[in-house]
Structure 1
Amino acid sequence: MSRYRYGAYHEGPDPLAPPYDVREALDALGDSVLEGTRPGDALRELLRRGLPNDVRNRRGLDDLLREVRERRRELRRRGRMDGTLEQVRALLDTAVGQERAELFPDPSDDARLREAELDALPSDTAQAVRRLSDYQWRSDAARATFERLKDLLRGEILDSQFEGMRQALANQDPAAMERVRDMMAALNDMLDKDARGEHTQEDFDRFMREYGEFFPENPADLEELVDALARRAAAMDRLMASLTPEQRAELSGLMDEVMRDAGLAMEMTRLTESLRTRRPDLGWGTPDQLSGDRPLGMSDATGALAELADLAELEAALGQDYPGARLDDIDEEAVRRALGRSAVDDLAALRRLEAELERQGYLRRNRGELELTPKAVRRLGETALRRVFSRLTSGRSGDHDRRDAGQAGELTGSTREWRFGDEQPIDVVRTVSNAVRRSAAHAAAPSAGPGEAGGSVGTGGPGGGRRGVKLSVDDFEVKETERRSAAAVCLLVDLSYSMVLRGTWAAAKQTTLALHTLVTSSFPQDAIQIIGFSNYARVLHPTEMAGLDWDMVQGTNLHHALMIAGRHLDRHPDFEPIVLVVTDGEPTAHLRPDGRSWFDYPPSADTLVLTTAEVDKMTRRGAALNFFMLADDRRLVAFVDEVARRNGGRVFAPDAERLGEYVVSDYLSVRRGGRR
């Protein structure tokens, strides 16, 4: 027999892990959409704030952005950029002072000539260093100090170009400088070969095997190496541009002198030109500033400027405020360098959230724009309804108006005997159980007797035989349901711009989704229609309603909305009519005979007459109009009071945050057969 050994699963994500929970994130996203934000903008805002109620305290993009900006401020306060010049000047003064101390006791003419040569040194540091390069030092201490000066310059210059070069040259071995020259020559040859299209990965691997100690960042290919070198070279160029003209001239002269002395001037020039050609986007020659008091060496200042440039790019990527911005644009390695591993984990969580919203079918892209799917809208409706019910008292719940056996109802959990004409589903378990019990009592009966249906349920027996359970008409039981009377529901929602100005727009949309969810889930036999109206009226689908924007037009055309609602009620003559109107203004527009909208303020007599006529038609249909006023305007109050008098409907004046509670409660009260 086969033997199996079980262990930990190591091949990717846990296949038994529960699905990634995006419900809270979707609810937060939906709140923004319902307030009028486009789905793409709402997602960006969610990613900026971070995951709602995250137990791991994951940071959002704004949190990461604040840390990047704080890091930039810290870098700028690190020190001054002229530290190398200051160190060179100090070493130069020390060497000259040591040489003078050696010459002073000597009464010879040679000593006086040397003192005169030292007195004639130019004030420019670079020229003084160049003059002293051929000077024959009397003082061993002065000679050692001057060598320290040249080593300092050589190390700072090379380390500013090649990170980690300072450690490679620490032993001051002439063979080490020869190796540096070989490395730079090989590097330039490799870049030239790549420019001709002849470079291969094998060439790069061979180069790294030979000179990898000069590149502690351990690049994987030539592009990574070029990127690292170009960023430091551009930072060095910005450092030079940030110095005063006098400082720049001195430092440039010192660099030229040291590079010529080391035999690296030509190779360094080749490398810089090649890097500038490959990466012209790195802001070469753009001045930048460090504002600290501590003098920094050239290498440290270059590293700080290179990091500042990286942080500037990271700041732009984290800002996500450019067309087509995606989280994939953010360089994970740049985040790691700037903010550490925990920030990378936070970014990964945000990326997963964005991906899961699309993968689980809540968001989709249409021509580059994000939009909510029907699945997402259903979730938003369920959330809106749940919030409404959380504010309702238990005494106001209830949704049945008549118990009866009806196919269109919901299961009660009980069963009863089947009667002729029943259309309920058969309870198979109870039916077969009845037959088995009856068969046990009449085990001697070999065949169906009078009154038996003659059907049977066969079961396999030993030897391939069959044993049958005979079904009688009396055995059948059906699942009991409760029947509800159907209703034709019309929700008329004001889409005018004043709804936005009064801050009631999001509440109206949440109420619409909550009511639609309630009707479709708890009263599937009801026929609901959502009608939005401003200068014109139109039927709205819930998916459209979630992302709907307000209409920046003049007119509250309740006349047109009532006409559309009337047609919906006429299509369902046997349904109980329910008409709910959410508005913050009186009617100011009507539909003319030619189908065009007419607006007038104050309302024209024609608008009021035609709107009132539609109200009277609703009254003749037996439909009460229940108004939910979101403003206390005097004209609006007078109009709805007149409608209530003519129609018999009711008037509510809820706060915006309680609109959903009022609308849902009113619908449920009508469906229970309560007061309308």
Structure 2
Amino acid sequence: MTPQPRSPRPARYGRYAGGPDPLAPPIDLGAALDEIADDVMSGYSPDQALRELLRRGTRGTRGLDDLAGRVQQRRRDLLGRHRLDGTLQEVKQLLDSAVLAERGQLARDIEMDDTDRTFREMVLDNLPESTAAAVSELATYDWASAEARQAYEQIKDLLGREVLEQRFAGMKQALEGATEEDRAAISEMLSDLGDLLEKHARGEDTEADFDQFMSKHGDQFPENPRDVDELIDTLAKRSAAARRMLNSMTPEQRNELMQLSQQAFGSPQLMEQLARVDAGLRALRPGEDWTGSEQFDGDQGLGLGDGTGALQELADLDRLAEQIEQASSGPPLSDLDLEALGRHLGDDAAVSARTLAELERALRESDYLHRGSDGDLRLSPRGMRRLGRSLLQDAAGRLSGRSGSRDTRQAGAAGEQTGSSRAWAFGDTEPWDVTRSLTNATLRTAREGGDPSRGLRLDVADVEIAETEARTQAAVALLVDTSFSMAAEGRWLPMKRTALALHQLLSTRFRGDRLELVQFGRYAQRVDLAELTALPPFREQGTNLHHGLMLATRFFRQHPTMQPVLLVVTDGEPTAHLEPGGESWFDYPPMPRTLQLTVAELDRVVRLGAETTFFRLGDDPGLARFLDAMARRARGRVVAPDLDDLGAAVVGEYMHARSLWDL
């Protein structure tokens, strides 16, 4: 008979749950750097900005704040869903079943002596209201009903398994239906454990002692500890949780339970052995929380074992909350217990934490950040270039979309063409090399499997420009207002982004140009890009444009062969000027002498032939009138961009000035 081919098993697909997604893209450090850039330029240190990124998370990855919130929600769920009298309620139900079965047997047994029946009924009728006291009183009762006797024996068996489950997870199930031999083995284990703990406390135990203990009783410890310290750590956490569970009960519940525990397996010696073990663990691990308590207010009863597990989980959640809080403020995320996080919050939480930890490690080890001489984390030159490139791309995109904006990419350039070409980049004003551009498009189309004879689609990457021998060089002074109002009105960050974008443009596309960054508040001073990027918001008042123009004039005179370009970003009229002795004089509203000195310094800049543009931020009518007058005097321009458009406006004005010289 020809065997029939097996039908293929249907494929089943589901979410990958084995840890980090093996198909996930690698960590994009550049994108992460972009995400912390705004915080850095707002005045945060890179360390603080990195912490903020880890707190809020990245696209597709939960942050530490979210994980902390889920930890607290899990904690609230545990406390709000459960109560701790589950074992007491279960014992009461078994006791009620035993008494009911016994009464039924007494009523049915017509052969029983009436005196005996009356005595038994009297015992049952006068049982104490306390469940523990009733169980204790019935310890010597001679049950007439086999069903009742079995229910009562279940109480002792349940109590024995529950009190062991409190200290040794898994005992309740392992000892279900246990024989006397099983109980004797437990008793022997507790005795040997007590001996081992006391020997360890005296410093007299050896590795052989631990190996001998595990060889004899190892099947009762599924955690499989590797040495005596791991064994003690595991047991101490559980024992401390059991103590906290008792502390969390009402005094009545606690008293009931302590009395009932004496009936565990019908052997008071069990509690004595457990007390010895608990005392040994507490002495060896005093750092565990042995005195805490929790407020449970739910309606689902927990037995002793499950209640201890809940207290242990609460302790784990508290440790996780502490680790997350510490990770948010300093220590590395690698200290987070990912196993515990996944166990209590799910694999997705552990994956998010692992991703954040890898991102943190990669950023700290990357060359985007470096440690300064003072030990603080700072943006490296490569990191600054990466941010500048990103901001310049954003400015270029906004520039191309600005309504009424000029096309600054004029055809034509200064000087004669050299015959060589290079790839086009934003900011280039040279004409295209059409032949090379079409050749590039043809080769690319063929590589991609297309047919060039059926037509070409030109891509930006195909374009090459013709290089020229000479190009006009510029000395660009960017004056940025750093008065208090810039920070108070949310203009601090756009100002820094603008400076970084312009610096990137000059350092990559117009390397012959020179850029001077000048910040002016109560005083003015030249700053390099790293200083400006890290500059925190100032709280002192004063807009000393006079001093800023003085520094611009000095810069232009240091580069007499270059075309001067003055770009001023401000949100207020001048309220300060520099006195001959070097002191800054501040007054508001602006005093005539401040305006007079500022205008006089502008005239010096104009005499040097500077192309001048003022960028007005805000809608102050007094500032608008002042800057309009200054622009007319300098034969310059006033631009009033939106904050988000400031970078594009400054870059556009610079490019416009360059295009005028090249024509």
TM range (shorter): 0.7 to 0.9
Q: Shift in Å at residue 81 of structure 1?
A: 1.4
SS at match of 2:478: strand
Q: Which residue of 2 aligns with 1:584?
A: 571
Residue deviations 1:341-389 (CA, integer Å, cap 9, x gap): 3432322221111111122212234566433222211111110001111
Q: Quick one: distance in 1 between partners of 2:411 and 2:530?
A: 25
Q: Which residue of 2 aligns with 1:397?
A: 409
CA contact (8 A) 2:51 2:328 kept: no
CA contact (8 A) 2:471 2:662 kept: no
Distance 1:260 1:535, change over 3 A: farther
- State which of 578, 584, 592 in structure 2 corresponds to 1:597: 584
Q: Which residue of 2 aligns with 1:208?
A: 214
Amino acid at match of 1:135: Y
Q: Quick one: distance in 2 between partners of 1:141 and 1:77?
A: 37
Q: Which residue of 2 aligns with 1:412?
A: 421
Residue deviations 1:317-359 (CA, integer Å, cap 9, x gap): 3345764243123111111211333432322221111111122
Q: Shift in Å at residue 505 of structure 1?
A: 1.5
CA contact (8 A) 1:411 1:482 kept: no
Q: Quick one: distance in 1 between partners of 2:255 and 2:412?
A: 91
Q: Which residue of 2 aligns with 1:561?
A: 548
Counterpart mapping for 1:442-591 below 5 A? 482-591=469-578
- State which of 144, 161, 167 in structure 2 corresponds to 1:155: 161
Residue deviations 1:504-538 (CA, integer Å, cap 9, x gap): 22111110000000011111111111111111212
Counterpart mapping for 1:317-328 below 5 A? 317-320=323-326, 323-328=329-334
SS at match of 1:538: strand
Q: Which residue of 2 aligns with 1:82?
A: 85
Supply the RMSD in Å over aligned alpha carbons: 3.0
Amino acid at match of 1:377: M
Counterpart mapping for 1:176-215 below 5 A? 176-199=182-205, 203-215=209-221
Stretches of structure 1 lacking an aligned partner (at least 5 in a row): 1-12, 415-478
Q: Which residue of 1 aligns with 2:318?
A: 312
Q: Quick one: distance in 2 between partners of 1:625 and 1:203?
A: 87
Residue deviations 1:570-614 (CA, integer Å, cap 9, x gap): 211111111111110111112223323221111223322222221
2:75 is aligned with 1:72: yes
Q: Quick one: distance in 2 between partners of 1:389 and 1:348?
A: 36
Q: Which residue of 2 aligns with 1:466?
A: none
Q: Shift in Å at residue 160 of structure 1?
A: 1.7
Q: Quick one: distance in 2 between partners of 1:219 and 1:320?
A: 29
Distance 1:197 1:560, change over 3 A: farther
- State which of 231, 236, 247 in structure 1 corresponds to 2:242: 236
Q: Which residue of 2 aligns with 1:49?
A: 56
Counterpart mapping for 1:351-370 below 5 A? 351-365=357-371, 369-370=376-377
Q: Quick one: distance in 2 between partners of 1:497 and 1:199?
A: 69
Residue deviations 1:477-523 (CA, integer Å, cap 9, x gap): xx975322221111111112211222222111110000000011111
- State which of 152, 177, 195 in structure 2 corresponds to 1:171: 177
Q: Shift in Å at residue 413 of structure 1?
A: 5.7
Amino acid at match of 2:622: R
- State which of 93, 118, 121 in structure 1 corresponds to 2:127: 121
Residue deviations 1:609-649 (CA, integer Å, cap 9, x gap): 22222112112222243110111212212221222232222
Q: Quick one: distance in 1 between partners of 2:26 and 2:149?
A: 73
Q: Quick one: distance in 1 between partners of 2:662 and 2:494?
A: 25
Amino acid at match of 2:656: S
Stretches of structure 2 lacking an aligned partner (at least 5 in a row): 1-19, 401-405, 424-465
Q: Shift in Å at residue 671 of structure 1?
A: 1.7
After TM superposition, the structure 1 stretch with the greater mean CA deviation from structure 2, 585-594 or 658-667, is: 585-594
SS at match of 1:133: helix
Q: Quick one: distance in 1 between partners of 2:566 and 2:227?
A: 70
CA contact (8 A) 2:544 2:576 kept: yes
2:379 is aligned with 1:372: yes
Q: Shift in Å at residue 59 of structure 1?
A: 3.2
Q: Quick one: distance in 1 between partners of 2:34 and 2:594?
A: 40
Distance 1:199 1:58, change over 3 A: farther
Q: Which residue of 1 aligns with 2:293?
A: 287
CA contact (8 A) 1:487 1:577 kept: yes
After TM superposition, the structure 1 stretch with the greater mean CA deviation from structure 2, 542-551 or 322-331, is: 322-331
Give the number of aligned pairs.
590
Counterpart mapping for 1:648-659 below 5 A? 648-659=635-646
Q: Quick one: distance in 2 between partners of 1:225 and 1:670?
A: 77
CA contact (8 A) 2:502 2:650 kept: yes
2:257 is aligned with 1:251: yes
Residue deviations 1:154-206 (CA, integer Å, cap 9, x gap): 11111122100112212321121222122223333333333334555554444
Q: Quick one: distance in 2 between partners of 1:200 and 1:650?
A: 87
CA contact (8 A) 1:536 1:560 kept: yes
Q: Quick one: distance in 1 between partners of 2:493 and 2:203?
A: 59
> For the pair shown, which has the larger CA radius of gyration, 1 or 2?
1
Residue deviations 1:403-428 (CA, integer Å, cap 9, x gap): 2489xxx96369xxxxxxxxxxxxxx
Distance 1:263 1:386, change over 3 A: same
SS at match of 1:489: strand
After TM superposition, the structure 1 stretch with the greater mean CA deviation from structure 2, 384-393 or 137-146, is: 137-146
Counterpart mapping for 1:1-150 below 5 A? 20-52=27-59, 57-104=60-107, 105=110, 106-150=112-156
Q: Quick one: distance in 2 between partners of 1:651 and 1:18?
A: 46
- State which of 640, 657, 661 in structure 1 corresponds to 2:627: 640
